[in-house]
């Protein structure tokens, strides 16, 4: 009798997990053209140290150069670059004019602020990381240039990679989208992916895969929303291609709503229902008219909603009329509340302690001549910054991957440095490492190994001797610091950040339900609230998945939160089904009211058991209040149809 192998613990399984996908060749080309050529140009001009700083800026921008639209890359790469330059200038002047103890306190305070900013999201996390890495490099890497020159060189390096991101073509880009040098290939792929996710959910309706497909639809809509939400080409107007993409994104929202309601019903959908969204996806991707769309049957409210949504898409798809992105519109006050709230405080304190401890230990080792004759002590605190980032994975996984990657990268560099000519061979090594970063980001250990080789090559060109063994020792010290701080008790309840995210998701679900039951009929507002409800839930599920893969002493503090998030998702799915049914019949069906009540009771029970502070959910009387009659919206037609004609760009029905 064969025995199955025991399952790995989550914290170890996460460390071994690797992302999959095609090689991002365009990002590889940008990486090869960024740090290496910048360093070569600076060396040829006799300013190698400025080239080192510029290459560091390009390298950090390359780590943030992820797949997506060009407009989204402006904020994703530009904001962290500005923060990194500011941190570099601050660290340089503080390191030159501040005693060790005061410098430690100053950088610890900076860590507290940067940690709070990191709670704002992925861009905020990158901003917080780069400002601290810049400060560590400025204070711990003495160079002959003043702080303002270093900051400008850092910005030049990051700006060069951003320019490459905006200017170079990518696979699938269309010349017809070009306006003032801007292509919409990333936006187009993102919107097409949303239509494909709708079709996939329709295919999975009535099967066990429906839940996962609905989560994939949320991710696709989030991606498309972010891809289109960046800065426009002009302040008051935009190109026809841009407005058309906005209209195409707006047209997918009612399709997603109808598909979610069909999946909630738990019954299979005829295969022809998914053909329309799939053809729309192909039209978006190829930038062509939609052609004739198969019309689904109209035998149920959700199928009638899907048919109406297809008709709306056929009428509006190729018109350059724009559309509301229904994006997140958070006020400055809301952003401040996030930074100062539970998540911001919890993350800020841990970042401050880790970064401050790293600075203090590095300076103590520096004064004890641990580093020998050179004066660079930036590595330990900069390593601590990357290790304390929760969005890079669970703590144990980060520590294991960072240690393994640094050892591998340092040993590899030591072997290469012994045989490569200087500086030509080291510059070539920087260029190769820059090209490998987009591929290496699929695993934290691989990314660490590549970045280690790149940075060691950079600083050797700048005049630092080969110190691979010292860098390994510093990395292990940083790992120990972060492991200790990560398990220290903090003010407030452990796992408060997860509970805060669940509370946000519960509040978004409450607002969505209030709008649906309120009977205002404002579909644009409804779709915006629905998007926010699903988006906050997705963020909560991601944070919970990372927390559950921590070591047991940390993971146990979030026990039960995944079940609460799953219940909230089912609750939002039910609200969506209610909204579609209300549009069709003017009242909530008995099945919807009963399911809302069941989920409400289960959420209350889970909330009491886990101590979560979720918003009050509606009781049965409130659900019944939503059954008041409302006139059903007019229908385009009744009965079945084999195909639905779609207008071409001139409005002629074909």
The whole-angstrom separation of Cα 462 and Cα 51 is 8
Residue 644 main-chain phi, psi, to 5 deg: -120, 125
Q: Which residue has the tokens 């590549």?
A: 450
DSSP string, 437-492: HHHHTTSHHHHHHHHHHHHHHHHHHTTPPP-HHHHHHHHHHHHHHHHHHHTS--SS
The whole-angstrom separation of Cα 188 and Cα 433 is 30
- pLDDT greater at residue 108 or residue 316: 108
Mean pLDDT in residue range 296-306: 83
Residue 44 main-chain phi, psi, to 5 deg: -65, -25
Residue 392 main-chain phi, psi, to 5 deg: -90, 0
Mean pLDDT in residue range 558-576: 89
Closest to 410 in 3D by CA, of 361, 467, 357: 467
For CA atoms 459, 465, 469, 471, give the dihedral sign: negative
Point out the least confidently predicted range of 7-16, 255-264, 313-322. 313-322
475, pLDDT greater than 90: yes
- The pLDDT of residue 278: 92
How much is the pTM? Answer: 0.84
- The pLDDT of residue 374: 60
437, pLDDT greater than 80: yes
Q: How confident is the model at residue 127 (pLDDT cuts 50, 70, 90)?
A: very high
Token code pair at residue 591: 């099945």
Token code pair at residue 654: 């074909």
Residue 619's CB is within 10 A of a number of other CB atoms, namely 13
- pLDDT greater at residue 620 or residue 383: 383
DSSP string, 572-585: HHHHHHHHHHHHHH
**Which H or E element spans position 644?**
strand 643-644
- The pLDDT of residue 336: 82
Residue 255's CB is within 10 A of a number of other CB atoms, namely 27
CB 628 within 8 A of CB 514: no
- The pLDDT of residue 185: 66
Q: What is the DSSP letter of 615?
A: P
**Percent share of the chain, pLDDT over 90:** 40
Q: How confident is the model at residue 327 (pLDDT cuts 50, 70, 90)?
A: low
CB 504 within 8 A of CB 540: yes
- The pLDDT of residue 611: 56
Mean pLDDT in residue range 268-296: 86
Kindly report the three-state secondary structure assignment for every residue of 549-575: CCCHHHHHHHCCHHHHHHHHHHHHHHH
- The pLDDT of residue 105: 95
Mean pLDDT in residue range 189-209: 92
- The pLDDT of residue 186: 76
629, pLDDT greater than 80: no
Alpha helices in 145-184 (DSSP H): 147-167
Point out the least confidently predicted range of 101-115, 197-211, 296-310. 296-310
Closest to 67 in 3D by CA, of 176, 227, 261: 227
**Percent share of the chain, pLDDT over 70:** 84
- The pLDDT of residue 546: 85
- The pLDDT of residue 285: 87
Q: Among 69-83, 107-121, 302-316, which range has the highest average pLDDT?
A: 107-121
Mean pLDDT in residue range 149-167: 93
- pLDDT greater at residue 337 or residue 182: 337
Mean of pLDDT over the chain: 82
CB 408 within 8 A of CB 170: no
Q: Which residue has the tokens 């150069």?
A: 65
Question: What are the residues whose beta carbons fall under 8 Å from the beta carbon of 432, sequence distance 6 or more?
Answer: 32, 36
CB 459 within 8 A of CB 376: yes
Closest to 273 in 3D by CA, of 315, 312, 316, 307: 307
Q: What is the DSSP letter of 8?
A: P
- The pLDDT of residue 50: 93
Mean pLDDT in residue range 507-529: 86
Token code pair at residue 351: 């970042």
Half-sphere exposure of 149 (CA within 13 A, CB side): 9
The whole-angstrom separation of Cα 80 and Cα 284 is 32
52, pLDDT greater than 80: yes
CB 435 within 8 A of CB 29: yes
CB 48 within 8 A of CB 423: yes
Q: How confident is the model at residue 650 (pLDDT cuts 50, 70, 90)?
A: very low
Q: How confident is the model at residue 126 (pLDDT cuts 50, 70, 90)?
A: very high
Mean pLDDT in residue range 134-154: 92
CB 381 within 8 A of CB 359: yes
For 385-403, what is each residue's pLDDT tens digit? 989 876 777 888 889 999 9
The whole-angstrom separation of Cα 575 and Cα 556 is 31
Point out the least confidently predicted range of 36-45, 342-351, 427-436, 444-453. 342-351
- The pLDDT of residue 646: 43
365, pLDDT greater than 80: yes
Closest to 250 in 3D by CA, of 219, 215, 282, 284: 284
- The pLDDT of residue 230: 64
Cis upstream peptide for 158 (omega within 30°): no
For 162-189, what is each residue's pLDDT tens digit? 999 988 876 544 444 443 334 666 788 8
477, pLDDT greater than 60: yes
For 206-222, what is each residue's pLDDT tens digit? 899 999 999 999 999 99
Residue 643, beta-bridge partner list = 294
DSSP string, 281-320: HHHHHHT-----EEPPP-SSHHHHHHHHHHHHHHHHTT--
CB 191 within 8 A of CB 282: no
Cα angle 274-277-281, degrees, rounded to a multiple of 5: 130
């Amino acid at each position: 009798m064969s025995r199955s192998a025991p399952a790995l613990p989550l914290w170890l399984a996460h460390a071994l997990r690797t992302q999959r996908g095609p090689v991002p060749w365009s990002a590889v080309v940008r990486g090869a053209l960024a740090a290496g050529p910048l360093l070569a140009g600076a060396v040829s001009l006799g300013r190698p140290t400025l080239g080192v700083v510029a290459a560091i800026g390009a390298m950090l921008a390359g780590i943030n150069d992820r797949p997506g639209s060009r407009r989204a890359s402006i904020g994703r790469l530009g904001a962290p670059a500005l923060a990194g330059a500011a941190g570099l200038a601050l660290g340089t002047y503080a390191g030159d004019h501040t005693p060790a103890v005061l410098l430690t306190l100053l950088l610890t305070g900076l860590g507290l602020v940067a940690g709070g900013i990191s709670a704002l999201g992925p861009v905020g996390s990158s901003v917080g990381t780069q400002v601290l890495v810049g400060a560590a490099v400025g204070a711990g890497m003495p160079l002959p240039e003043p702080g303002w020159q270093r900051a400008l060189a850092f910005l030049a390096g990051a700006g060069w990679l951003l320019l490459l991101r905006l200017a170079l073509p990518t696979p699938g880009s269309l010349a017809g989208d070009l306006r003032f040098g801007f292509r919409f290939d990333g936006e187009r792929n993102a919107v097409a992916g949303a239509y494909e996710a709708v079709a996939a959910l329709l295919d999975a309706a009535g099967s066990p895969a429906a839940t996962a497909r609905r989560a994939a639809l949320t991710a696709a809509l989030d991606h498309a929303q972010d891809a289109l939400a960046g800065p426009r080409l002009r302040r008051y107007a935009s190109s026809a291609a841009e407005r058309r993409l906005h209209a195409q994104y707006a047209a997918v929202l009612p399709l997603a709503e109808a598909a979610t309601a069909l999946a909630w019903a738990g019954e299979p959908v005829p295969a022809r229902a998914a053909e329309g969204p799939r053809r729309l996806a192909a039209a978006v991707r190829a930038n062509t008219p939609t052609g004739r769309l198969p019309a689904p049957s109209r035998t149920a409210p959700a199928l009638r909603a899907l048919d109406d949504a297809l008709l709306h898409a056929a009428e509006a798809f190729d018109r350059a009329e724009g559309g509301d992105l229904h994006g997140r519109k958070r006020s400055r006050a809301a952003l401040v509340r996030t930074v100062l709230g539970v998540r911001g405080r919890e993350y800020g304190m841990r970042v401050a302690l880790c970064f401050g401890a790293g600075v203090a230990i590095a300076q103590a080792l520096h004064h004890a001549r641990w580093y020998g004759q050179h004066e660079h002590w930036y590595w330990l605190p900069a390593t601590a910054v990357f290790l304390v980032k929760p969005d890079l994975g669970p703590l144990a996984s980060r520590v294991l991957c960072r240690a393994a990657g640094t050892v591998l990268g340092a040993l590899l560099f030591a072997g290469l440095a012994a045989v490569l000519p200087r500086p030509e061979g080291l510059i070539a090594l920087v260029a190769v490492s820059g090209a490998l970063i987009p591929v290496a980001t699929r695993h934290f250990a691989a990314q660490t190994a590549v970045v280690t080789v790149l940075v060691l090559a950079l600083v050797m060109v700048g005049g630092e001797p080969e110190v691979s063994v010292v860098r390994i020792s510093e990395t292990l010290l940083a790992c120990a610091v972060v492991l200790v701080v990560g398990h220290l008790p903090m003010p407030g309840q452990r796992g408060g950040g997860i509970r805060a995210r669940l509370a946000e998701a519960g509040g978004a679900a409450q607002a969505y339900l209030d709008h649906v039951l309120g009977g205002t009929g404002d579909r644009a507002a409804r779709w915006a609230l629905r998007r926010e409800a699903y988006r906050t839930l997705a963020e909560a599920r991601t944070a919970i998945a990372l927390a559950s893969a921590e070591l047991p002493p940390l993971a146990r503090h979030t026990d039960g939160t995944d079940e609460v998030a799953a219940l909230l998702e089912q609750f939002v799915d039910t609200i969506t089904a209610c909204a579609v049914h209300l549009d069709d019949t003017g009242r909530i069906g008995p099945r919807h009211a009963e399911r809302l009540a069941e989920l409400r009771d289960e959420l209350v029970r889970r909330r009491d058991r886990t101590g979560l502070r979720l918003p009050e959910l509606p009781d049965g009387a409130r659900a019944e209040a939503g059954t008041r009659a409302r006139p059903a919206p007019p229908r385009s037609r009744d009965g079945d149809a084999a195909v639905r004609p779609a207008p071409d760009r001139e409005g002629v029905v074909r």
